[in-house]
Structure 1
Amino acid sequence: MKSVNESSNKPKGSIPSTVNAVDAFHPDQLTEKIPVGISACLLGDNVRFNGGHSRSTFCLGPLSQYFDYKKFCPEVAAGFGTPRPTLRLIGNPESPVMTYTKGTGEDLTETFKGASNHYLDAMPELDGYIVMKNSPSCGMSRIKVYQENGHPHMMRTRGLFTDALMKKYPLLPVEEDGRLNDPALRENFLLRVFAHHEFRLTVANAPSMKALIGFHSRYKYLIMAHSQPAYKALGRMLCGQNKRSANELSSLYFAEFMAAISQPAKRRNHCNVLMHLMGYLKKAVDTSIRKDILEVIEQYRRGEVFLATPMTILHHYLKQYGSDYVKQQRYFSPYPNPLGIRNNV
């Protein structure tokens, strides 16, 4: 698979022309699961160094209803066997060497990278990847690299496989299983996966200005919640003055879009978006109702309620009185509502 921004081939998975893209890719109406890569041990495969696994109840629980997992263990692929001696990274943190923790000091780096690169070159089209924490192979951050004296460097790094994955596919959402326990990081990862999926199949599949503007229109307020500068920059990009081809513009847009949503949105930005959305009710509902909604937004601003509370109330009235444009905003449902993600952010 080539990443969306560098692919010269059309991604698979296009929808019939008779299906409305807005409905077909609404997170609560998906007809097919989203392909997501995952470390095999997180699915319960006994591939860890000790012959065990690190089964993730969250990945195999709620997320399994929406994700079609594509599992891979780079250490097994490299032929290291199960069980096997533990591995560690040594040397320069910027270009570490993989070896066994105890043993002859054999350099396993090229063997490991060869197997990983073979997989990455033929990796199926994915919309996200979940990796194993604390692993010298799959860890996403804070991986120790040891000095000759046996002490770790102050500087930490990524596991060798995850580092290669993120460099080859820089726009692919990647997250560690342990970090998914953090409500804000979990919310952001799911948001990115579903957005990546929708863009891949509705825009990158057949780039056109119509498809690109349609995607941007649906994600307008979600972008605003993450970054005002990006919101303005992406709007300017599509204002009609850019002379790039639809294919070039789609690639440029997607890179900027994924960068804009790469971090969790801040509470004050959510409040700003909620206030903007209230403007659609200015002439439709009584002043007393708008004051009640405003008070709930203020409660969220003060941290007294979760985002789901003002979102639910506002969405209720916008579904009745809002325009088709505002009803189609992914801001209200960037991922399946049954997951209850916004009940914790």
Structure 2
Amino acid sequence: MEQQIKVGISSCVLGEKVRFDSGHKISKFVTKELFPYFEFVPICPEVGSGMTVPRPTIRLVSEEDRIALVETKDASIDHTDQVVSYSKEKVRQLMQDDLCGYIVCAKSPTCGMERVKVYKKGGAESVGVGLFTSELMRAMPWLPVEEDGRLNDPVLKENFITRVYALNDFYQSMGSAPTRGKIVAFHSRYKLILMAHHPTSYKTLGKLVANIKDYDIIEFYQIYREGFMSAIAHRASRKNNTNVLMHLQGYFKRSLDKSEKQELRQVIDDYRVGLLPLLAPLTLIKHYLSAHPDAYLSGQTYLEPYPQELRLRYGL
């Protein structure tokens, strides 16, 4: 059996009863669909930093020079330092662990990724990021981070899972130590994914890899990892996917007869205008690839970025 991919997760999203009211926020998608593929590392920064279950509610408050985490009913009880200290230490541990993604609890003052309420004196409020997640994203800018609720959106879900699998593939491909050859081979397999997600980065990363000899290998590894993960964080648009499909179509110019070419053209066009999901042209291309093998195409991760059993391309 394949080694499971390590993904951090807010404990409550996994179903642990660690919330202020002794409840949880279990995600059925996580526990039913993803559980067979990922090894989840559950973390609750509030409990981890010493708060009790149950506990008074807490919120973020904007002070003159910092964002503080205080109790809602008594703002003089301040948990900021203990949570920040715990978060820094926990994230430092996670950095040693080849973590490939993180699913956080939305709107939480410690775990929220965006649109977390930050209160100000006078009653006005703005939005920010939970204290733990802020530390996580600052220390590991390459890490795919997503909120539990946003994983109900088919496009955001597919993008997050693509990134998790890509980062895991990157780490597995590097083995015990990165080399120039390993990075060039990895980049070659991900060319079409980059083209679909962010054509500008496809070009800039191509130039970067062409000059790999000019860099210290560890420095290059870090620059490439961040650049690559930032590129695929852009969601693959229908227009960019269509360009990739037409690029793939070009590889079969000599091997398909007139009616097969017409069929492939039609299926790609039906995807382009939204009549068919991405799965339809890809299934046909894989069928033609098995009949007319091509080593370069067979190696392209774009054709199967994650297990088909996850059924993520049905909704794209």
- TM-score interval, normalised by the smaller of the two chains: over 0.9
- Deviation per CA, 1:26-79: give whole Å up to 9, x if none: xxxx71100000000111111000001111111111101110001110000111
In structure 2, distance between residues paired with 1:196 and 1:135: 26
Q: 8 Å contact 1:179–1:186 — kept in the other structure?
A: yes
Which residue, 273, 283, 307 being the options, matches 2:254? Answer: 283
1:81 is paired with a residue whose SS is: coil
1:104 CA displacement: 4.8
**Cα separation, partners in 2 of 1:238 and 1:103, compared to 1, 3 Å:** closer
The residue aligned with 2:54 is 83
The residue aligned with 1:128 is 101
Q: Which amino acid letter does the alignment assign opposite residue 132 of structure 1?
A: C
Q: Does 1:40 align with 2:7?
A: no
**Cα separation, partners in 2 of 1:248 and 1:103, compared to 1, 3 Å:** closer
* Aligned positions of 1:42-57 closer than 5 A: 42-57=13-28
Number of equivalences:
314
Q: Does 1:338 align with 2:309?
A: yes
Q: Does 1:112 align with 2:83?
A: yes
The residue aligned with 1:157 is 128
Larger mean Cα displacement after TM superposition, 238-247 or 289-298: 238-247
Q: 8 Å contact 1:281–1:322 — kept in the other structure?
A: no
The residue aligned with 1:298 is 269
Q: 8 Å contact 1:35–1:69 — kept in the other structure?
A: yes
Unaligned runs of 5+ in 2: none
The residue aligned with 1:329 is 300
1:287 CA displacement: 1.7
In structure 1, distance between residues paired with 2:255 and 2:193: 23
In structure 1, distance between residues paired with 2:170 and 2:207: 19
User: TM-score, structure 2 length as denominator?
Assistant: 0.95
Q: 8 Å contact 1:94–1:157 — kept in the other structure?
A: no
The residue aligned with 1:203 is 174
Q: 8 Å contact 2:98–2:171 — kept in the other structure?
A: no
The residue aligned with 1:15 is none
In structure 2, distance between residues paired with 1:204 and 1:101: 48
In structure 2, distance between residues paired with 1:209 and 1:114: 37
Q: 8 Å contact 1:131–1:177 — kept in the other structure?
A: yes
**Cα separation, partners in 2 of 1:194 and 1:93, compared to 1, 3 Å:** farther
**Cα separation, partners in 2 of 1:334 and 1:189, compared to 1, 3 Å:** same
* Percent of aligned pairs sharing the same letter: 41
In structure 2, distance between residues paired with 1:241 and 1:183: 36
**Cα separation, partners in 2 of 1:138 and 1:163, compared to 1, 3 Å:** same
Q: Does 1:140 align with 2:113?
A: yes
Q: 8 Å contact 1:180–1:186 — kept in the other structure?
A: yes
Q: 8 Å contact 1:92–1:145 — kept in the other structure?
A: no
Query: Superposition RMSD on alpha carbons, in Å?
Result: 1.6
Unaligned runs of 5+ in 1: 1-29
